[in-house]
Amino acid sequence: MERPELPLPQLYAFAVLAEELHFGRAAARLGIAQPPLSQQIRRLEDKVGYALFSREPGRVSLTPAGRELLPAARYALAHLAEGLTAAREVGSGRAGRLRIGFAASLALTVLPSLLRTFRERSPAVHLDIQEMTTTPQLAALRERTIDIGLLREPPAHDPELAFKTVLAEPFVAVLPASHPLAAQRTVRVAQLAPCPFVLLPRAAGPPLYDQIAGLCIAAGFTPQVTQHAVEWQTVCALVETGLGVSLAPQSIRRIRLKGVAFRRIDAGAARTRVAVAWRKDDSSPLIPGIMAALDQGLPRER
């Protein structure tokens, strides 16, 4: 980038004098004495190589060179002012761009209230929302393609990432509405042992998958997974067709399908954690803003 030839203080002094066409009034407006103003104009004229003002007794006017420079000077000063304002807005966290990854099931719980609260607090911030499962979110955070992740079952420790649990919700059994177990208010996990299962693939989120499998193993069986789907809505749709049953976070109940029944399970102490994730070295002022929005607007499901 080339170094600009015209110092901004001289350019500003030139623009003010061009508006006032009077050295005394221009100096007063600039808050300086008249001799320093005259010196700044002289230095600017030396750089241009031509006089910018015609000085006659009782009258100051722009020369052709001055008239040619004035629009460019005003343009440069206006854009500098806009740039300074934009920099202050971004630096304060009132503006900027925040890239958020979220697990699809959280569009039913955490995401709407979070976005609504954050938009109220920071309306000038542009939000870039991307749907992705937990494993891709962790990779995207490390690769700096997202700034915030909303995911399930974060890792216990990560050298690059920080996590904060914002919600813990129990599991429910997901059954075809015609299934005999749908007649019960509470289903024992052991009762699902003969049934084929529909689950998200383990690669999409190993901790959550292992937690669901662990509920089954604790009940005395290993789930026979016959179908996989990458989103919970698809899991529910496959359950509706009778391809199997599932265990899922209770927020999945908000997926309204007539042919699907959601029932409590006997493993009442089991919870799946929803966490916000961010890079430990991220100094963006938008991170505290999103955390404050979470604290203010997050619905708590227990």
| pLDDT tens track, the chain, 302 positions | 344 455 688 888 999 999 999 999 999 999 999 999 999 999 999 988 989 999 888 889 999 999 999 998 898 888 887 777 766 766 666 667 889 999 888 887 888 888 888 888 788 888 899 999 889 999 999 999 999 999 988 888 899 999 999 888 899 999 999 999 999 999 999 999 999 999 999 998 888 999 999 999 999 999 999 999 988 999 999 999 999 999 999 988 888 888 999 999 997 778 889 999 999 999 888 888 888 888 775 554 44
Examine the domain organization and report whether 41 and 185 are in the same domain: no
In this structure, is residue 1 part of a structural domain? Answer: no
- Rounded to the nearest 5 degrees, what angle is found at the Cα of 266, between the Cα atoms of 265 and 270? 80
CATH of the domain at 189: 3.40.190.290
CATH of the domain at 81: 1.10.10.10
Examine the domain organization and report whether 187 and 41 are in the same domain: no
**CA separation, residue 191 to residues 2, 63, 170, 171, 181 (Å):** 74, 93, 18, 15, 8
Examine the domain organization and report whether 180 and 265 are in the same domain: yes
Full domain range(s) for residue 80: 8-92
Examine the domain organization and report whether 175 and 246 are in the same domain: yes
Examine the domain organization and report whether 263 and 176 are in the same domain: yes
Examine the domain organization and report whether 230 and 282 are in the same domain: no
Examine the domain organization and report whether 150 and 289 are in the same domain: yes
d(CA 106, CA 63): 66
In this structure, is residue 48 part of a structural domain? Answer: yes
Examine the domain organization and report whether 174 and 190 are in the same domain: yes
Indicate the residue among 60, 92, 124 that finishes a domain. Answer: 92
In this structure, is residue 28 part of a structural domain? Answer: yes
In this structure, is residue 2 part of a structural domain? Answer: no
In this structure, is residue 3 part of a structural domain? Answer: no
Examine the domain organization and report whether 147 and 241 are in the same domain: no
Examine the domain organization and report whether 174 and 203 are in the same domain: yes
Q: How many domains does the chain have?
A: 3
β-strand pairing of 148-152 with 271-279:
antiparallel
Indicate the residue among 92, 108, 132 that finishes a domain. Answer: 92
Residue 247 carries which side chain, given as an amino acid letter? L
Q: What is the pLDDT, as a whole number, of residue 92?
A: 60
In this structure, is residue 12 part of a structural domain? Answer: yes
d(CA 8, CA 81): 12
Examine the domain organization and report whether 50 and 37 are in the same domain: yes
Residue 254: CB atoms within 10 Å: 11
